[in-house]
Structure 1
């Protein structure tokens, strides 16, 4: 019997962490112990607290999901905090993984790290080809540094560190704050309230922009595969196929169907649409996993909406003030 694998998941109480916890129960292998930690378990902005966590849990593998994240307005207002806090967290995790001889570290980036002015589809080679969009440059530049750190630690210390780049994520345990959430949880919350109040469901913008959405539990399966099997230091985009891109209007109608919403649906075209498309290529992922099956979008949306409805009154749904 081999030595125990201890897999430490930072950000273990968030959208992706909860999905990894859910999937790890189905896909755990003999000799694996999964440890999910949140901000109450360790302050990752403190090197001392981070090292104490590693001393306590003695991880052999780390999935680093913890980050300072937020919606558009938070990113625009707090660029320095998004830069500093993510850089400090990353640096502490990298140092601890090196010092404690962690076998594999997988960090999580975002497609917003890519240049604002680019060609589509974007792929893993294009991260550093130009500045990111100015609205989230603090976060984006901080996360770009993960890619650089992975290469530097491999070159100097031989560390097996890498990163994944998911497209837009949705699923249970999201942040549903009406002011500061991402598009799907915000629309789920708005549709639910419109249903309760008998009011129209209003979507900001024309509904025409295109996005690739990945269900959090599909992403969790791919992250676990990355942790166990992906051999490169260079990052890998985790995304549905380009053919599965959907419009924001499609998203809204999938929520309407899942919620059995019977009221009026309106698009407020006086509001800006934002970037029209951010298409990412999953060619590298398909090279490794040609047969991976993603959960159909409408099925994933039904599960996500049902989780929100079931948990709305519990007081445990992030971003919901009862």
Structure 2
């Protein structure tokens, strides 16, 4: 069975289509002319189906009959919510992923590209991390439920290929941010939560309180760059093994540097306090994008400063509809 051959028109179903990455892919496909002749794209949100439920998953697949799937849907929260509810994140994500992958298989979907998370890498490891190291040891204890569920997608992809020759693969993005992110101060991604925090401190004339020391280092990627790369993976990448999608190692920055860029973009003039009584989480998770660079040596990422400015501008313009 030659799964890699693109036969006939592509009908792509994107789960989690209303989230940060789904909206980025939608923008690239619909606004930037990224759609090829004969392609059809369907963006699902949680309103269309609860993917924890196998019956609803099957019904939505029968409705749209996709040939290809980009699987982004997940139960996700902020650091502190994950620490409290590891069991819920484990069970719900195991169900979502199994429902999407098995329904895809049963309905003859040619290719599935799932989205993993850099938090699933081993906590005790050497850096930079690459694709071969995913299962080398336990993930960080703070969100082991979510991380383990994400790892199982990779295990399932290998098993579907071994038994059925299915071309189901996965990408591992590093920290993504951009328009349509979750800007919630409690449960949002770190960069977007900081944008909202800075905005509120400016509005209220209060001190900007940052959790932790500001020392942890991360590789941040603008969501539209990830959208373009995921479309490339769907069309061109033929390996079952996952691929890390990330900016280069030298583009890693500290949380303090990110705060400085946000403060500049929002023109915040108040005091900044780093609350060192709060957990820093992992100090670094440096990932290697050497595999991506072998395929796409010339791909240019938006600079972090430019991406932050564009995200802040979007947040200000869409404050009433942004997830806060």
The reply on whether 1:267 has 2:263 as its aligned counterpart is no
Listed as ranges, the gaps of 5+ residues in structure 2 are 1-6
Q: TM-score, normalised by structure 1?
A: 0.96
Match of 2:95 among 77, 88, 92: 88
Say whether residues 1:23 and 2:24 are aligned partners: no
Structure 1 runs of 4+ aligned residues shifted over 2 Å read: 264-274
Residue 181 of structure 1, CA deviation: 1.5
* SS across alignment from 1:17: helix
Give CA-to-partner distance per residue, 1:240-295, whole Å, 9 cap, x none. Answer: 00010011011001101111112222322333322211100000000000000000
Match of 2:17 in 1: 12
Report matched runs for 1:158-177 at 5 Å.
158-177=165-184
Q: Matches of 1:277 and 1:62 in 2, distance apart?
A: 32
Report the TM-score when normalising by structure 2: 0.95
- The one of 228, 236, 241 equivalent to 2:248 is 241
Aligned mates of 2:241, 2:124 — CA distance in 1: 22
Deviations 1:69-114 (A, max 9, x none): 1111211111111111111111111111111111110000001111
Per-residue displacement from partner, 1:159-198 (whole Å, max 9, x unpaired)?
0100000001100111111111221111101100111111
Counterpart of 2:132 in structure 1 is: 125
1:115 alignment counterpart:
122
Residue 209 of structure 2 aligns to a residue whose secondary structure is strand
Aligned to 1:317: 322
CA distance in 1, matches of 2:201, 2:84: 29
- What's the secondary structure of 2:318's corresponding residue? helix
Match among 205, 220, 227 for residue 213 of structure 1: 220
Unmatched tracts of structure 1, length 5 or more: none
> 3-state DSSP class of the match of 1:34?
strand
In the alignment, structure 1 residue 294 sits paired with structure 2 residue 301: yes
2:289 to 257, 273, 282: 282
3-state SS of paired residue (1:63)? strand
Match of 1:200 among 199, 207, 210: 207
Note the aligned Cα RMSD (angstroms). 1.1
What secondary structure does 1:260 align onto? coil
* Count of aligned positions: 316
**Separation (CA, whole Å) in 1 of partners of 2:214 and 2:227:** 28
Q: Structure 2 CA distance, aligned partners of 1:274 and 1:141?
A: 17
Hey, what's the Cα distance between the residues in 2 that align with 1:218 and 1:247?
Answer: 21
Q: Deviations over 1:6-56 (max 9, x none)?
A: 110000011111111111122111111110001110121122211111111
Counterparts of 1:273 and 1:139 in 2: how far apart (Å)?
Answer: 19
Superposition deviation, residue 204 in structure 1: 2.1
Q: Give, in whole Å, the separation in 1 of the partners of 2:92 and 2:271.
A: 42
Of 238, 244, 251, the match for 1:231: 238
- Counterpart CA distance in 2 for 1:275 and 1:213 is 15
In structure 2, distance between residues paired with 1:65 and 1:118: 26
Q: Out of 178, 190, 205, which is 1:183 matched to?
A: 190
Once residues 90 and 234 of structure 1 are traced to their aligned partners in structure 2, the CA distance between those partners, rounded to angstroms, is 17
